[in-house]
Amino acid sequence: MYNIYTLKNGLRVVTEYIDHVNSISVGVMVQNGSRNEELELNGISHFIEHMFFKGTEKRTSKEIVQQIENVGGQINAYTSKEATCYYIKALNTHLDLSIEILADMILNSKFDDEEIEKEQGVVIEEINMSEDTPEDVLDNDSSKAIFGENSLSYPILGTIENIKSFNSKKIKKFVKSHYAPHNSVVSVCGKFDEKELMKMLEENFGSWKGEGDYKPEYKSPILISQSKYTNKPIEQLHINLAFKGLPYAHEKAYSLVLLNNVFGGGASSILFQNVREELGLCYTIYSYGQPYLGTGINNIYTGVSKQSADKALDVINKELKKFADKGISNELLEINKEKIKASYILGLESTSSRMFSNAKSMLLQNKIKTQEEVIKRINNINSDDINYVLDTCFKPGIISSAYVGQDIEYEKLNQIIEPDIKAYDNSNKDGIKRM
């Protein structure tokens, strides 16, 4: 059972009561991520996420985690392109402690210069670790290739140069302007007493005040047709091919999920069967969507040997064109409805996953998608929906590419897919910029 209400200061709250569990998941999600940053501040949202764990007026950094772990709970956080979330999962008997600690972190963090200096070293090492991970480098390169100078291309971790420039003054200013009740949501899922919960939230978060009326506004970026390459001394060539997707919460979103599942979503998918099983060109290959507010992209990822790259790209490109033209049968449509319903339901088996889902839906849409509503939308997918997504997303073909590997002639590889890119209508009405 869901309940939605707003505290006096404008902080939205969404709760979901589950009687058969004895756990509780509490999260504070803020509509602020790397997409909200200026270039010179890129990385500050993620750095601030770290700093919220580095001590408050009441607790040291050790006490913040220790008090939750001492009762068997888990405390963590993450930063994405469009949101940051701080969360705790614990036994429901420790709901009051969970809420109090999250509020203490959000409202009373000190952002001490000494702690900032120490954490700069930690985050720089995190960036170094990411730079040593080909998939991470590829993901950043792919974003830069297709989004260009738009803030969606900015890496979540930021740059080492930027990290070194952050100080207490910059951080406090950013938090004051970007962390506010009206662009945040508290999400609670599990077993609790609703009246007691409302009282706890008002007592702990009621004093939260933001500065001004900051509301994130994003311009829909033009998708750019270009390629990025990073030379790294590794065995495999990692490839990402990007094509059109759909924005977050688009009415045809589940139709796209279904088509991605058929095309590259599992071991029975077209890409897996044709590129790996039949030809043995790779170990891993899949397609996936990245929906954002106002825009979205799809990606095809694989890792291959340098010698197999041209053959793999040729097969992928041909299979994409064939899939876009032929679509899927009614039988395959019904089978994959069941697959994505199962995936959706199984993905919401824990209180934490449901808490995240409710928080994101409330934060970005200001409403909750119930399980019944989602299942109904999946059941209602028809051939018209499928054809719309095929025409909109798959038929335009590959827009941009990114490669990570050693001594790769990526310009030659691009020639395999560039004919489709060049075939785009140059009027730019499709929201794609040719380089």
Has residue 420 got a pLDDT over 50? no
CATH 3.30.830.10 fits 2-205, yes or no: yes
Q: Closest Cα to residue 4, out of 201, 144, 153?
A: 201
Are domains 2-205 and 223-434 of this chain identical in fold?
yes
Distance (Å, whole) CA 31 – CA 183: 6
Confidence of residue 214 (pLDDT cuts 50, 70, 90): confident
pLDDT of 428 = 44
CATH of 223-434, one of 3.40.50.2300, 3.30.830.10, 3.30.70.2200, 2.40.420.20: 3.30.830.10
- The full set of domain ranges for the chain reads 2-205, 223-434
Residues 6+ apart with CB under 8 A from 240: 138, 139, 141, 142, 299, 300, 301, 401, 402, 403
Q: Which ranges of 166-308 would DSSP assign to H, the alpha helix?
A: 168-178, 194-205, 253-264, 270-271
Average confidence (pLDDT) over 200-210: 94
Q: What is the mean pLDDT of the chain?
A: 93
Please confirm, yes or no, whether 49 is among the known catalytic residues.
yes
pLDDT of 30 = 97
pLDDT of 434 = 53
Average confidence (pLDDT) over 154-180: 96
Query: pTM of the prediction?
Result: 0.93
Q: Closest Cα to residue 140, out of 225, 218, 235, 238?
A: 238
pLDDT digits (tens, 9 = 90+) for 353-379: 999 999 999 999 999 988 999 999 999
pLDDT digits (tens, 9 = 90+) for 388-402: 999 999 999 999 999
Catalytic residue among 49, 82, 119, 319: 49
Distances (CA, A) of 160 to 43, 111, 124: 9, 19, 6
